[in-house]
Amino acid sequence: MPPKAAPKKGGKPKKEKLFHPLSRKADQLVRAQHRKSKLQELAKERTKKQGVEADIYGFFYHAIPPEGVFSLEDIHTIVRDVWLTRYDSMLEEEKAQRRPGRPKSTKEQKIEELKLREAEEYRTGFQVIDLTEPANVALFKQWDQKAPSYIKQLRFIRISSSSPETYTVVKWGIHPSLPKPPKPAAAETSASSTSAHDVAMDEDEVPLLLDPSVRFSSTITGMDEIPA
């Protein structure tokens, strides 16, 4: 009796199961794929946002005064004259390289869009780490410039170019050494507490260096998504 033939290896590939485009299963697959794509997009946006925030935190970390704290006027000077102008030289270089009659480069367009967006944010309300509060400055100096989660402990304020004499505390910070937010009270007390948040700061605390752009030159390049 002849020996049985050995089974063939591999065999025919299994056919992919197809579903009618209007079936319930096809609808489930479409929704699952859509959800997966949405989650991937959200993760990408979250990573991008964290990168931009890390740039801002790093910039202001190098802006910490060697001694004492900044006045509110000093913070406005840093934002207005250093942070918002960090791409000005790059923009002028792009304009100079563009031949007459030629359209703007992608890089030039992105820089202009970024400057407009940040200028509007500064006009309506720009959120920064509070460098006017001594305990907050002391905590910020201890940051290792690596862990963004550490920043959550700090106090943040919102400033605006439309109202440079006042600020608003937007995050009081969770570290126990920071001042606590006022407790809710009667309407009059609450109103007076709110007015205490938006106060003009002492302009004579710590003078800003005469040439801030030199001081922060190592931190104002390579930020955001400006193409090379």
Kindly report the CATH number assigned to the domain that includes residue 69. Answer: 1.20.1440.170
Across 21-25, 87-91, 120-124, least confident range: 21-25
The pLDDT of residue 149 is 85
Per-residue pLDDT at 217: 52
Greater confidence (227 vs 63) lies with 63
8 A C-beta contact, residue 162 and residue 130: no
**HSE value, Cβ hemisphere, 13 Å, CA-based, for 148:** 11
Report the pLDDT value the prediction gives residue 14, as an integer from 0 to 100: 59
For residue 210, pLDDT over 80 is answered with no
- Structural contact between residues 122 and 79, judged by C-beta atoms closer than 8 angstroms: yes
Range of the structural domain that residue 47 is part of: 24-215
Confidence of residue 28 (pLDDT cuts 50, 70, 90): confident
* pLDDT at position 43: 54
Q: Is residue 201 scored above 50 in pLDDT?
A: no
- In sequence order, what E strands does 39-196 have? 126-129, 156-159, 168-171
Is 13 part of any domain?
no
146: in domain: yes
Q: Which helix (H) or strand (E) holds 156?
A: strand 156-159
Return the higher-pLDDT residue of 33 and 208: 33
- Is the model's pLDDT at 199 over the cut of 70? no
Which residue stretches of 106-216 are H helix?
106-124, 134-141, 187-197, 212-215
Which pLDDT score, from 0 to 100, does residue 212 have?
47
Residue position matching structure tokens 């407009």: 116
- For residue 196, being part of any structural domain is answered with yes
Q: What's the confidence (pLDDT) of residue 160?
A: 97
pTM: 0.63
Assess whether pLDDT exceeds 80 at residue 105: yes
- Dihedral of CA atoms 49, 50, 51, 53 in degrees, nearest 10, equals 90
C-alpha to C-alpha distance for 222 and 228, rounded to whole angstroms: 9
Instruction: Provide the pLDDT for residue 161.
Output: 96
In a domain, residue 4? The reply is no
Look at the alpha carbons of 185, 191, 192, 197 in this order and tell me if their dihedral is positive or negative. Answer: positive
Q: Name the domain count of the chain.
A: 1
Residue 200 covered by a domain: yes
Q: Are residues 143 and 175 in contact, defined by beta-carbon separation less than 8 angstroms?
A: no
Q: Tokens at residue 96, please?
A: 């100079």
**In a domain? residue 114:** yes
